[in-house]
Amino acid sequence: MPIALYALTAGAFGIGVTEFVIMGLLLQVSGDLGVSIPAAGLLITGYALGVFAGAPLLTIATRRLPRKTTLIALMAIFTIGNLACALAPNYEVLMIARVITALAHGTFFGVGSVVAAGLVTPERRASAIALMFTGLTAATLVGVPFGAWLGESFGWRSTFWAVGGIGVFAAAVLVLFVPRAEQPVEAGSLAEELSVLRRPQVLLGLLMTVLGFGGVFAVFTYIQPILTQITGFPIAAVSPILLVFGGGLVAGNFLGGKAADRALTPALFGTLGALTMVMLAMTFILDNKPAAVVFTGLLGAAAFATVAPLQLRLMEAAGGAGQTLASSLNIAAFNLGNALGAWLGGAVIDHGPGLGAVTWIGALMPAAAIVTALLSQRLATREAAAC
């Protein structure tokens, strides 16, 4: 793989840490700022909605810039946002800072996915995209547990100071290793790019992503209280268990990319099916500590196995001038799913059957994504027959 892909991975690592680390800090943030655990969980929702809004807006705004310039500017926004989080005096300012940080997220991964796919031969595109997303998995494997430990030891603000430092490092790596020559600007007219939103397969692909990751975040947003209040782990055990989750992300991301390179459609159905089954099974094992640890890892593996198939499928459905916008919109769809999942989990806790039901209710969302994939496949068959 070209070294430029590893530079993209470094940027993805920084963004991944700031997205996921808050899940290991929910109790600290809620206690320090005097808000409930579901309210602290809304910091994840706010971030996700920032990604959802920022992805199309910044992708359109930067469409004629060199892609290297775009990636570095986005990393600067990310760094400034994290420093604002560290300095936030109250919950409201922290929420605003999280949204500012999130604005860079969708366009970075959207542009980065197109760049990554263009750096390799066609039969390795899914693996190249998966390699870039390895930055997210590494963030969860290493960065999030370390951030949770740092927040527990020195206060949650110290975690955001550290993440700001990661942003500076990631920007430097992008400057050094992403060659400008590999980022040609091929923007067509704005109307041509926006026309991608009229394609049914693109819209169905976005819906699959929202539903699939909505289920993941209905569970993962509240993994700290699930492990401590239901399974019975002490809070100090959450960071090591997050390492298991991160290991699952790494394995699932790699396997999902390889499977999508071999056969995209079977990989899509298989990974969404595995995600549904893992969350359903978690409902029955959460009172068993060893099984809860194992299934936390399996949740990570099943979740990120879906990423490369979902991303590549949408890029293929878009094609042409709309590919970068569609790629960014799919990152927005991942995060809209994150927001909906975090909200759904909070609603189940506050107004529904409670924390113990989050896993089986979350499983309904990837199951709905499978139904959407079946509809998409049926539509594709009809379109092929009409041609």
Quickly list DSSP for 149-163: HHHHHH-HHHHHHHH
Instruction: State in words which class domain 3-178+190-382 has.
Output: mainly alpha
Structure tokens at 70: 């775009």
State whether the Cα torsion 111-116-121-126 is positive or negative: negative
Q: pLDDT-derived band of residue 83, with 50, 70 and 90 as boundaries?
A: very high
Separation CA 349–CA 351 (nearest Å): 6
pTM of model > 0.95 = no
- End-to-end Cα separation, the chain, in angstroms: 37
**Range 352-358 contact pairs with CB under 8 angstroms and sequence separation of 24 or more:** 355/222, 355/225, 355/226, 355/229, 355/230, 356/230, 356/283, 356/286, 357/283, 358/218, 358/219, 358/222, 358/226
Residue 276 has pLDDT above 90, yes or no: yes
**Ramachandran class of 155: left when φ > 0, alpha when ψ lies in -120 to 50, beta otherwise:** left
Listed in sequence order, the residues at least 6 apart from 283 whose beta carbon sits closer than 8 Å to its beta carbon are: 356, 357, 359, 360, 363
Q: Which of 114-123, 143-152, 160-169, 237-246 has the highest mean pLDDT?
A: 160-169
State whether the Cα torsion 319-324-217-244 is positive or negative: positive
Q: If DSSP codes are grouped into helix, strand and coil, which group holds residue 63?
A: coil
Mean pLDDT calculated for residue range 177-187:
58
Say which range, 27-41, 93-107, 116-130, 255-269, has the weakest mean pLDDT: 116-130
Per domain, the residue ranges of the chain are 3-178+190-382
Burial class (CB in 10 A: 0-12, 13-18, 19+), 256: buried
- The kind and range of the H/E element at 275 are helix 264-282
pLDDT digits (tens, 9 = 90+) for 198-210: 788 888 888 998 9
Residue that is written with structure tokens 């089954």 in the block: 277
Structure tokens at 217: 């975040």
pLDDT digits (tens, 9 = 90+) for 298-325: 998 998 888 888 888 887 777 766 677 7
Separation CA 103–CA 21 (nearest Å): 17
Listed in sequence order, the residues at least 6 apart from 13 whose beta carbon sits closer than 8 Å to its beta carbon are: 135, 136, 138, 139, 143, 166, 170
pLDDT digits (tens, 9 = 90+) for 94-149: 999 998 888 888 788 878 877 777 777 777 777 787 788 788 778 777 777 788 78
Separation CA 197–CA 92 (nearest Å): 34
Of residues 321 and 245, the one with the higher pLDDT is 245
Nearest in space to 54 (alpha carbons), one of 307, 336, 340, 343: 336
pLDDT digits (tens, 9 = 90+) for 319-331: 766 677 777 788 7
Separation CA 209–CA 369 (nearest Å): 7
What's the confidence (pLDDT) of residue 147?
Answer: 82
Residue 182 has pLDDT above 50, yes or no: no
Structure tokens at 353: 């059957």
Burial class (CB in 10 A: 0-12, 13-18, 19+), 304: buried
% residues pLDDT > 90 (the chain): 11
Cβ count within 10 A of residue 44: 27
Quote the DSSP letter at residue 345. Answer: H
What's the confidence (pLDDT) of residue 387?
Answer: 62
Listed in sequence order, the residues at least 6 apart from 8 whose beta carbon sits closer than 8 Å to its beta carbon are: 71, 112, 115, 116, 132, 135, 174, 178
Q: Which of 17-21, 138-142, 227-231 has the highest mean pLDDT?
A: 227-231
Q: pLDDT-derived band of residue 186, with 50, 70 and 90 as boundaries?
A: low
